[in-house]
């Protein structure tokens, strides 16, 4: 038998490290034709995260997203999109981004690199048909591209992995530029604004609507209940807290992906501004009649949330949905993530990833302890009723209550 070729071996090793997703069983009755084509209403937006806010199940998403990242792909899957048509290459080869793999493994047709003309030829709400790699409006061909398959995506990921060394060099160069610009902020905390939320001496839970944020929040429920950390939502992370049943204490970000409901929930608002003081998100906050603190910095919003918590005396910073590895940094954007690496060096002694907390943390009171406590209390009450002189008065009352309960319970089934 022949030995596997080097490229086949590399594919196998990469495939074993990439996350596998089971088919989600998305509803495909609407819009799917007998020949396998998808016919549905089109929704267009050059920003994928804005498009997912209005996508309905079965519709065709037309996007312009080079190197489709994991978070955007998971959002499209959760919207139960019928098909995705991308103006740009979903995998450019810069690095092994996982978005396309998530879509094709979920059974969602992905047509790549159709060109920007499609945004001129079609409009929002047009009825489109995606047949293999061709997009039709009626009988008119409006775009042609490349239909991605599991095999083509895997091949592209293996090839893109070879480009990581060049991306790492560029990442380091951008990081050094950031050090020069934000040295005072990173080292001495110069420029961190005052806030009214009390953070000193408390834990801070920072939520970003990133990778597996729902699962991470769910695992942290015992921790949140016991330690009562300061809840800080980064833009859409505030909505993630509300969805989980918590009210954020503070919202940090440029306010482009957070809902009005979150902004008016009573949380303190910290608007992320450019280094020159311009804060585009401030106008939206003021229109809602809310006051805000402005934090100018060239870092990302999740980074300034960490720097703020650290500067104000948080004893522990727990991160949910934040970026933690090289591929996640590149998903966010190489230049924009230069601050993330340095911020983690600054707050590293306090920073804990949510997944680490779920593994390390256990409630101080176990379920068995609670059971024995309740059992002990019941035995003590029973003994007191039986042995005390007042027992002769209490026992008939308890018996009457018990018979009333049994009568009510019997009535439910008759």
**CATH code where residue 59 lies:** 3.50.30.10
Based on the fold, state whether residues 249 and 276 are members of the same structural domain: yes
Share of the chain above pLDDT 70, in %: 72
Can you say how many angstroms the Cα of residue 65 is from the centroid of all Cα atoms in its chain? 18
Based on the fold, state whether residues 128 and 232 are members of the same structural domain: no
Q: Which of 154-158, 215-219, 258-262, 323-327 has the highest mean pLDDT?
A: 258-262
Instruction: From 360, 382, 400, give the residue that closes a domain.
Output: 360
Q: Which of 81-85, 222-226, 280-284 has the highest mean pLDDT?
A: 81-85
Report strand pairing: 134-137 vs 140-144.
Answer: antiparallel
CB 171 within 8 A of CB 329: yes
Based on the fold, state whether residues 404 and 314 are members of the same structural domain: no
Please indicate, yes or no, if residue 269 is contained in any of the structural domains. yes
- pLDDT number for residue 385: 64
Structural domain for 332, as ranges: 165-360
Based on the fold, state whether residues 169 and 131 are members of the same structural domain: no
Cα(378)–Cα(372) distance, integer angstroms: 10
Better-scored residue on pLDDT, 209 or 398: 209
Please indicate, yes or no, if residue 253 is contained in any of the structural domains. yes
Please indicate, yes or no, if residue 349 is contained in any of the structural domains. yes
Cα(133)–Cα(124) distance, integer angstroms: 20
Q: Which two tokens stand for residue 56?
A: 């309905």
Instruction: From 136, 161, 186, give the residue that closes a domain.
Output: 161
Based on the fold, state whether residues 196 and 264 are members of the same structural domain: yes
Q: What 8-state DSSP symbol labels residue 193?
A: P
- pLDDT number for residue 100: 94
Structurally, the chain folds into a number of domains equal to 3
With tokens 């409009």, the residue in question is: 123
Please indicate, yes or no, if residue 346 is contained in any of the structural domains. yes
Cα(344)–Cα(68) distance, integer angstroms: 25
Based on the fold, state whether residues 231 and 185 are members of the same structural domain: yes
Instruction: From 321, 344, 360, give the residue that closes a domain.
Output: 360
Cα(329)–Cα(168) distance, integer angstroms: 10
Please indicate, yes or no, if residue 37 is contained in any of the structural domains. yes
Q: Residue 252: enclosing H or E segment and its boundaries?
A: strand 250-253
Q: Is the pLDDT of residue 399 over 60?
A: yes
Based on the fold, state whether residues 85 and 195 are members of the same structural domain: no
- Mean pLDDT within 337-361: 70
Based on the fold, state whether residues 202 and 321 are members of the same structural domain: yes
Backbone angles phi, psi at 131, to 5 degrees: -120, 105
Residue 318's DSSP bridge partners are 205, 352
Rounded to 10 degrees, the C-alpha dihedral 89/93/95/101 comes to: 50
- pLDDT number for residue 246: 96
The per-residue pLDDT for range 155-209, each reduced to its tens digit, is: 988 888 776 667 667 767 776 676 666 666 666 555 789 999 999 999 999 999 8
Please indicate, yes or no, if residue 1 is contained in any of the structural domains. no
CB 232 within 8 A of CB 249: yes
Better-scored residue on pLDDT, 69 or 40: 40
Closest-CA residue to 136 (of 35, 48, 26): 35
Based on the fold, state whether residues 320 and 396 are members of the same structural domain: no
Based on the fold, state whether residues 343 and 214 are members of the same structural domain: yes
Closest-CA residue to 398 (of 409, 411, 384): 384
- Mean pLDDT within 229-248: 95
Better-scored residue on pLDDT, 363 or 351: 351
With residues binned 3-state (H G I as helix, E B as strand, rest as coil), the percentages for the chain, rounded to 5, are 45, 15, 40
Closest-CA residue to 72 (of 45, 93, 92, 33): 45
Based on the fold, state whether residues 111 and 179 are members of the same structural domain: no
Q: At what angle do helices 150-161 and 6-17 cross, to 10 degrees?
A: 100
Please indicate, yes or no, if residue 153 is contained in any of the structural domains. yes
- pLDDT number for residue 153: 93
Based on the fold, state whether residues 208 and 253 are members of the same structural domain: yes
Q: How many helices (H) and strands (E) does the chain have?
A: 19, 15
Please indicate, yes or no, if residue 294 is contained in any of the structural domains. yes
């Amino acid at each position: 038998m022949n030995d596997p070729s080097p490229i086949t071996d590399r594919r196998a090793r990469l495939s074993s490290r990439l996350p596998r997703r089971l088919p989600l069983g998305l509803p495909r009755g609407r819009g799917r034709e007998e020949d396998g084509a998808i016919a549905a209403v089109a929704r267009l937006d050059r920003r994928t995260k804005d498009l997912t806010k209005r996508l309905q199940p079965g519709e065709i998403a037309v996007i312009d997203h080079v190197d489709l990242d994991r978070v955007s792909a998971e959002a499209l899957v959760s919207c139960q999109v019928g098909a995705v048509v991308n103006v740009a290459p979903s995998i450019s080869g810069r690095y092994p981004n996982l978005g396309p793999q998530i879509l094709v493994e979920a059974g969602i047709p992905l047509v790549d690199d159709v060109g920007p003309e499609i945004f001129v030829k079609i409009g929002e709400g047009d009825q489109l048909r995606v047949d293999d790699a061709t997009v039709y409006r009626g009988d008119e061909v409006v775009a042609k591209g490349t239909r991605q398959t599991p095999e083509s995506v895997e091949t592209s990921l293996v090839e893109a992995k070879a480009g990581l060394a060049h991306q790492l060099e560029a990442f380091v160069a951008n990081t050094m530029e950031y050090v020069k610009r934000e040295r005072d902020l990173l080292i001495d905390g110069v420029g961190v604004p005052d806030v009214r939320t009390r953070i000193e001496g408390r834990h801070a839970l920072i939520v970003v609507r990133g990778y597996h944020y729902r699962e991470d929040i769910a695992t942290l429920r015992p921790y949140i209940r016991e330690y009562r950390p300061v809840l800080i939502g980064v833009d859409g992370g505030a909505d993630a807290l509300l969805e989980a049943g918590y009210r954020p204490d503070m919202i940090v970000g440029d306010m482009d992906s957070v809902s009005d409901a979150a902004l008016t929930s009573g949380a303190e608002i910290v608007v992320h501004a450019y280094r020159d003081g311009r804060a585009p998100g401030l106008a939206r906050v003021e229109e809602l009649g809310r006051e805000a603190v402005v934090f100018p910095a060239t870092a990302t919003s999740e980074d300034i949330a960490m720097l703020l918590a650290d500067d104000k005396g948080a004893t522990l910073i727990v991160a949910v949905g934040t970026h933690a590895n090289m591929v996640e940094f590149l998903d966010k954007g190489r230049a924009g993530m230069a601050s993330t690496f340095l911020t983690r060096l600054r707050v590293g002694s306090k920073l804990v990833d949510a997944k680490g907390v779920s593994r390390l943390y256990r409630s101080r009171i176990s379920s068995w302890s609670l059971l024995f406590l309740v059992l002990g209390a019941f035995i003590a009450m029973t003994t007191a009723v039986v042995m005390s002189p007042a027992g002769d008065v209490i026992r008939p009352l308890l018996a009457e209550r018990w018979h009333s309960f049994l009568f009510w319970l019997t009535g439910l089934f008759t």
